[in-house]
Copies of this chain bind each other. A is one copy, B any other.
């Protein structure tokens, strides 16, 4: 017997789980649509030329590659010293941002000038599976391309804030920082420009290993201890103060023109969103770094006192589309961590009851002719009722046990007499109450139930 488990790090979503996943996705979609975001879907496979070099060396390692087939494979295998690169030219989608950049480069003229898109699709990463970390998982992204206006940042942040609110997440904040500000801190601290990447990677771990841990890591990676300390002083500036105070403190600390412009951006963004859903959530966090290298402006991350790690993040990336088209197209986006959101909603009991099963199961008594029963089921369904039909000739007790197992609220019991009189026995399982109803009565009583 072969194994019937799904592959390692991947999951079968049984009906109850699908229902929860859809609940979250549909809430997010509904809100994205209210903000004017349009849906996009891209293929599961991308050319490796599209994917490679976009996610750093580690990302390239984690890509799933599609093995060549037929003649192409045979030619590759006939070579001496065949390598990975000879065996594949396609890979699986690794995130939703690079495909968006490719799409904007490819269809630029067919898309709205300001392209606001949302995309909810799975991605694949050959990471070591762990609790909450899967090899196939969904991302849920909103992005705006085509404008450098901070209104785009505001739209993205407000939409995400509405989703968090709508799903029931309280105690969340959105940490916000600016890549240019980070670069200025690095410069002011006296690091060499080529140490920027190293510094960002280390700072990104502030919430995990703390100030001392990052200090040690910076020194280990060849950054002088005094410079490291200076840099860390900037990133933890004005803990506990409000955004206005932090802006002021950073203005004093970072006199560079570039830093002052980045601080103007953040100041403007706080003003723009002052009356909007993200206002109470935004928290200027000078130590926020974000791992990905392609960010160029404001960066964001959802944090909460209720859990470690993040529920999502994003930022401005004005150069990524240009890597595909040669033409700069500014962009800003946010990616929600759907898997983590689902996990937390389960833990915190944030899901409402999600009825999924039918409202009624028709239970024909043994010896009942079935054609009129199937006919009745069809008419009730066409009237909008979710109807299950017990498929076998079986004793009523056994049928009612199935109704109970499936959590179906009503059983409709039909024998030959009921068929002759066109009056049927509707039994409410929880209360045990029964009533006789004709078809119209059934439709009236049952079609008012909410659809799932």
Contacts and interface: CB of A to CB of B under 8 A. Distances in A.
Contacts of A387: 34-36
B36 A391 contact: no
Which residue, of A67, A114, A154, has the highest number of chain B Cβ atoms within 10 A? A67
Contact of A22 (B39, B158, B375, B386): B39
A321 to B, nearest CB: 10
A69 interface: yes
A195 B21 CA distance: 48
Given A105-B4, A387-B36, A67 B45 contact: no
Contacts of A372: 275
A42 B451 CA distance: 24
A38 to B, nearest CB: 4
Contact of A375 (B90, B274, B388): B274
Interface string A260-280: 000000000001111111000
B122 A44 contact: yes
Contact of A326 (B1, B152, B275, B276): B1
A66 B64 contact: yes
Given A36-B388, A39-B22, A64-B66, A106 B47 contact: no
A407 B168 CA distance: 34
A66 B88 CA distance: 9
A342 to B, nearest CB: 13
A46 B7 contact: yes
Interface stretch (A12-20, A220-228, A312-320, A426-434): A12-20
Interface string A124-154: 1010000000001000000010010101101
Nearest to A73: B84
A7 B45 contact: yes
B41 A67 contact: no
Interface string A310-350: 00000000000000111000000000000000000000000
A107 B374 contact: no
A151 B364 CA distance: 12
Contacts of A64: 45, 66-67, 69
A44 B6 CA distance: 10
Contact of A271 (B3, B149, B371): B371
B374 A154 contact: yes
A241 interface: no
Nearest to A74: B84
Given A113-B402, A324-B1, A374-B151, A67 B69 contact: no
Interface stretch (A248-256, A291-299, A377-385): A377-385
A211 interface: no
B384 A34 contact: yes
A84 B76 CA distance: 11
Interface string A286-312: 000000000000000000000000000
Contacts of A274: 371, 375
Nearest to A360: B36
A67 B42 contact: no
A420 interface: no
B50 A2 contact: yes
B386 A44 contact: no
Interface in A33-67: 33-36, 38-47, 49-50, 61, 64-67
Contact of A358 (B18, B36, B271, B358): B36
Contacts of A35: 381, 386-388
Contacts of A440: none
Contact of A151 (B44, B49, B391): B391
Interface of A: 1-7, 10-15, 18-19, 21-22, 30-31, 33-36, 38-47, 49-50, 61, 64-67, 69-70, 73, 77, 82-84, 87-88, 90, 92, 102-103, 105-107, 110-114, 116-117, 122, 124, 126, 136, 144, 147, 149, 151-152, 154-155, 158, 162, 271-277, 324-326, 356-358, 361, 370-372, 374-375, 377-378, 381-382, 384-393, 402, 405-406, 451-452
Given A36-B361, A144-B391, 7 more contacts: A1-B325, A3-B49, A14-B110, A33-B386, A34-B381, A35-B386, A274-B375
Q: Which 3 pairs of residues, A with B, have the shortest CB-CB distance?
A: A275-B375, A36-B388, A15-B38
